[in-house]
Structure 1
Amino acid sequence: MSYNYLPLDSKPLQFQQIKHLLDYDQLVSITFDAHEKIMRCREYLNQKMQEPGKMYYGVNTGFGYLQNVQISLDQIEQLQYNLIVSHSCGLGEEVPKQIVKLMMMLKIKQLSYGHSGVQIQTVIRLMDMYNNDILPVIYTQGSLGASGDLAPLSHLSLSLLGLGDVYFKGEKIPASAALKKMNWEPIHLQSKEGLALINGTQFMNAYGLHCLKKAEQLLEMANLIAALSIDAFDCVTEPYHPSIHKIRGHQGQIETAAEIQCYLYGSEIANQTKSQVQDPYSFRCIPQVHGASMDAFKHVLSVFMQEVNAVTDNPNIFPDEDLIVSGGNFHGQPLAINLDYLCIAMSEIASISERRTYQLISGQRNLPMFLVKNAGLNSGFMIPQYTAAGIVSENKQLCTPASVDSISSSNNQEDHVSMGANAATKCYRLMLNVEKVLGIELLTAAQALDFRRPAKTSPILEELMTEFRKVVAFNDADRILHTDMINSINFIANYKPTNSRNN
Structure 2
Amino acid sequence: MAGPAGDVRFGAEPPTVSDIVAIAEGAPVVLDADARERIAASRAVVDHAIESGEPVYGLNRRLGAGRDDAVEVDELAAFQRRTIANHRGGIGEPLTEVEARAVVATRLAGFTRGGAGVRPRLADAYAALLNARVTPRIPSRGSIGAADLTALAEVAAVVIGTGVVLRDGVEVPAAEALADAGLQPVEFAPHEAVAALSANALSVGVGSLAAVAARQLAEAADLVVALSLEAVGAAGPAGNLSPYSTAVADARGGSGQRASAQAIRAALGGSRLEAPDRAVSVQDPLAFRTAPQLHGALRESVARLRAELEVELASRSENPVVDLPNGRLVSGGNFQALPLALALENLRLALAHVAEASERRTAALSLALAPARREGRTRVPGLLLYAAADAVAEVRQLAAPATLGSSTLSGVEDHATFAPLALRLLRRSLALTAEVVAIEALHAADLLGVLDAAPSGAGTARLAAALGASFDGRAADDLVRASAGLLGVGLGVEPA
Shift in Å, 1:430:
1.0
Q: Which residue of 2 aligns with 1:6?
A: 8
Kindly tell me: are residues 454 and 493 of structure 1, through their superposed partners in 2, closer, same or farther at Cα, counting changes over 3 Å?
A: closer
1:124 is aligned to: 124
State the distance in 2 between where 1:49 and 1:241 align: 65
TM-score (norm 2): 0.92
Q: Partner residue of 2:230?
A: 231
Kindly state the Cα deviation for residue 120 of structure 1 after the two structures are TM-superposed: 1.6
CA deviation after TM superposition for structure 1 residue 328, in Å: 0.6
* 1:389 aligns to 2:394 (yes or no): no
Aligned to 1:277: 282
Q: Which residue of 1 aligns with 2:36?
A: 35
Q: What does the per-residue CA deviation read over 1:66-110, in whole Å, with 9 as the maximum and x for residues that have no partner? A: 001101111111111101101101001111221111111111111
How many residue pairs end up in the alignment? 481
Query: 1:285 & 1:370 partners in 2: Cα distance?
Result: 28
Is the Cα contact below 8 Å between 2:270 and 2:456 reproduced in 1?
yes
Q: Which moved more, 1:305-314 or 1:182-191?
A: 182-191
For the 8 Å contact 1:60–1:72, the answer to whether it is kept is yes
Following TM superposition, by how much is the alpha carbon of 1:327 offset from its aligned partner in structure 2, in angstroms? 0.4
Q: Which runs of 5+ in 1 are unaligned?
A: 496-503
Query: Whole-Å Cα distance in 2 between the matches of residues 247 and 378 of structure 1?
Result: 40
For residues 319 and 153 of structure 1, what CA distance do their matches in structure 2 show? 24
Aligned positions of 1:250-329 closer than 5 A:
250-271=254-275, 273-329=278-334
Q: 1:186 corresponds to which residue?
A: 185
The 2-side partners of 1:470 and 1:380 are apart by 13
User: Does residue 472 of the first structure (1) align with residue 478 of the second (2)?
Assistant: no
User: Does the aligned pair in 1 maintain the 2:408–2:415 contact within 8 Å?
Assistant: yes
Pairwise mapping of residues 79-228 of structure 1 onto structure 2 (< 5 A)? Answer: 79-146=79-146, 148-168=147-167, 171-228=170-227
Counterpart in the other structure of 2:449: 450
Give the letter for the 1:125 counterpart: A
Q: TM-score, normalised by structure 1?
A: 0.91
Deviation at 1:446, TM superposition (A): 0.5
Q: Secondary structure at the match of 2:252?
A: coil
Return the alpha-carbon distance in structure 2 between the equivalents of residues 494 and 356 of structure 1.
19
**Alignment check: 8 A CA contact 1:435 1:492 kept:** no
CA distance in 2, matches of 1:130, 1:73: 33
Deviation at 1:6, TM superposition (A): 0.6
Alignment-derived partner of residue 58 in structure 1 = 58
Q: Of the candidates 235, 238, 244, which is equivalent to residue 240 of structure 1? A: 244
CA distance in 2, matches of 1:372, 1:282: 23
**SS of equivalent to 2:135:** strand
Check conservation: 1:143, 1:421, Cα contact below 8 A: yes
Structure 1 position 241, deviation (Å): 1.7
| Cα 1:208–1:370 shift into 2, 3 Å | farther
Quick one: distance in 1 between partners of 2:132 and 2:422? 31
Distance 1:184 1:244, change over 3 A: closer
CA distance in 2, matches of 1:374, 1:263: 32
Measure the CA separation in 2 of the matches of 1:55 and 1:138.
32
> Would the aligned equivalents of 1:149 and 1:204 in 2 still touch at CA under 8 Å?
yes
Q: Structure 2: which 5+ residue stretches go unaligned?
A: 234-238, 491-496
Q: Which residue of 1 aligns with 2:493?
A: none
**Do 1:267 and 1:456's aligned partners in 2 also have CA atoms closer than 8 Å?**
yes
CA displacement 1:275-300 (0-9 Å, x = unmatched): 53221111111111111211222122
Cα 1:355–1:70 change in 2 (3 A) is: same
C-alpha displacement of 1:454:
4.2
Distance 1:413 1:125 in 2: 32
Moved more, 345-354 or 446-455: 446-455
Q: Secondary structure at the match of 2:293?
A: helix
Pair 1:379–1:227, CA change in 2 (3 A):
closer
2:494 alignment partner in structure 1: none
* Code of the aligned partner of 1:9: G
The superposition leaves residues 127-152 of structure 1 with CA deviations (integer Å, 9 ceiling, x where unpaired) of 01101111000011111101x11111
CA drift of 1:170 comes to 5.7
The residue number in structure 2 matching 1:249 is 253
Q: Deviations over 1:147-172 (max 9, x none)?
A: x1111111121101111210246642
Quote how far apart the aligned CAs of 1:373 are: 5.2
Amino acid at match of 2:283: Q
Q: Contact 1:229 / 1:356 at 8 angstroms: preserved in 2?
A: yes
Q: Pairwise mapping of residues 478-497 of structure 1 onto structure 2 (< 5 A)?
A: 480-493=475-488
Report which stretch shifted further, 162-171 or 4-13. Answer: 162-171
Match of 1:353 in 2: 358
Change (3 A) 1:20 1:190: closer
Give the AA of the match of 2:387: T
Q: Is the 8 A contact 1:136 1:165 kept in 2?
A: yes
Contact 1:370/1:379, CA 8 A, preserved across alignment:
no
How far did 1:182 drift? 3.1
CA-CA distance at 1:268 after TM superposition: 1.9
Change beyond 3 A, Cα 1:454–1:321 = closer
Deviations 1:284-337 (A, max 9, x none): 111111112112221221111111111111101124412210001111312211
Matched AA of 1:452: L
- Do structure 1's residue 335 and structure 2's residue 330 form an aligned pair? no
SS of 1:7's partner is strand
Question: Which amino acid in 2 is paired with 1:328?
Answer: G
- Could you say what secondary structure the match of 2:329 adopts? strand
Shift of 1:346: 1.8
- Identify if the C-alpha distance between structure 1 residues 454 and 438 changes in structure 2 by more than 3 Å, giving closer, same or farther: closer
Asked if 2 retains the 8 angstrom alpha-carbon contact of 1:39 and 1:119, the reply is yes
In structure 2, give the amino acid aligned to 1:335.
Answer: L
Deviation for aligned residue 1:62: 0.5
What is the alpha-carbon distance in structure 2 between the residues aligned to residue 361 and residue 64 of structure 1? 57
Determine the structure 1 residue equivalent to 2:367.
362
CA distance in 1, matches of 2:18, 2:182: 35
8 Å Cα contact 1:350/1:437 also seen in 2: yes
